[in-house]
Amino acid sequence: MDFELNEDQRAIAEMAGSLMSDFCTDEYLRDWDLSGQAYMQQLWASCVETGLHALAIPETAGGSGLGMIELMQILDAQGGALAQVPLWRHQLAAATLAQFGGVAVAPWVERAVAATGLLTLSLDGLTNVRGIELHASPEADGWRLDGRIAALALAEQSNAALVLAQVAGQPRLVLVDLQQAGIRSVPGVMTHGEALADLQVEGVMLSSDHVLPGAALDWLAPRAIAALASLQLGVSAEQVHRTVAYVSERQQFNRSIGSFQAVQMSMADTHVQLEVLRSALWQLCYRLDAGLPAPSEALATAYLACEAGHRIGHTAQHVHGGIGVDLSYPIHRFLYWSRALSSALGGSSAILERLGDWLSDNDTLGWKYDLDEHQAL
């Protein structure tokens, strides 16, 4: 498999990396932690100006029409910079609406492309122990929504959300206008600084064309995993980079601690975990862009992202010693992010259970064994 980026993809990766890293300096992040802002609005404006906010939205809807490989480059850079901007949720929600929605939801896609409206999404009901807590009951002109949406990212800052609801006994994606009456929010903040809110929904009316077909969830779910894993890759890679720099400079017994065998072995392990995640993520994004099925690949990537976040985060904190828990030192932010991303993915145990269920009903391993990869070329 050729992992080389083409010229356009390299340009996108370089632009995103420069934009994110130049903006999110350690000094800026320290000030932003105390600002009380829901997200980095100035950086978001720059993302809109450069078109990064609509990169994965189809060209027919006004977006750039690029794929998950390109989006992966942007999210990798975002993770490495710890940039609080709603890149993946906004455009994957819009892309899903563009792919599976009708005329009634088209204005929301147009607003997403023009950045005059912010979209968010949540698939937490697939992994949450409580399951999907939002229920739709039939009404004469559509559906009535009642229940709860837990920890919806940027719920109070977004105009609409693509969320899961139980519709006729099946999980379906529904588009909810967050400005409607009948929605009560309880705001909060994740440990890594992302604004969210629990939404209590009571008697919200939904027209039938705001309920997407079942295929929309199958299309969105693996792409959401790829997006979160891309962020985890960026966070973990920068975590390893900073830790290597630290152990190369930190002196003990008149030697850099990076020269100690135990430290070297620990850092070698983090590199292996990072590259395993990278390879799995590349495979997943390749298959998604090629239109190949990827249910097991997505779950395997999600598991590896959770494991990498956990193991690399622990190693980085351990090697840093006492300074790692000093909030004036920047390394703790990466641990917060990796934990939050693992939580969003559902956690290692829950993912393994879902992968086991898949394997029990399938007699192939997925990956490259289910069909010849060259068929997609």
Read off the pLDDT of residues 45-56 as tens digits, 9 standing for 90 and up: 999 999 999 999
- Asked if the model's pLDDT at residue 374 lies above 50, the reply is no
- Asked if the model's pLDDT at residue 369 lies above 70, the reply is no
pTM for the model stands at: 0.94
- Asked if the model's pLDDT at residue 103 lies above 70, the reply is yes
Read off the pLDDT of residues 124-140 as tens digits, 9 standing for 90 and up: 999 888 899 999 999 98
Looking from the CA of 126 toward its CB, the CA atoms found within 13 Å total: 24
Cα separation, 326 vs 332, in Å, equals 8
Phi, psi at 264, each rounded to 5°: -60, -40
Read off the pLDDT of residues 272-309 as tens digits, 9 standing for 90 and up: 999 999 999 999 999 999 999 999 999 999 999 999 99
- Asked if the model's pLDDT at residue 181 lies above 70, the reply is yes
Q: What is the 3-state secondary structure (H, E, C) of the chain?
A: CCCCCCHHHHHHHHHHHHHHHHHCCHHHHHHHHCCCCCCCHHHHHHHHHHCHHHCCCCHHHCCCCCCHHHHHHHHHHHHHHCCCCCHHHHHHHHHHHHHHCCHHHHHHHHHHHHCCCCEEEECHHHCCCCCCCEEEEEECCEEEEEEEEEEEECCCCCCEEEEEEEECCEEEEEEEECCCCCEEEEEEECCCCCEEEEEEEEEEEECHHHECCHHHHHHHHHHHHHHHHHHHHHHHHHHHHHHHHHHHHCEECCEEHHHCHHHHHHHHHHHHHHHHHHHHHHHHHHHHHCCCCCHHHHHHHHHHHHHHHHHHHHHHHHHHHHHHHCCCCCHHHHHHHHHHHHHHHCCHHHHHHHHHHHHHCCCCCCCCCCCCHHHHC
Read off the pLDDT of residues 60-79 as tens digits, 9 standing for 90 and up: 999 999 999 999 999 999 99
Phi, psi at 187, each rounded to 5°: -75, 155
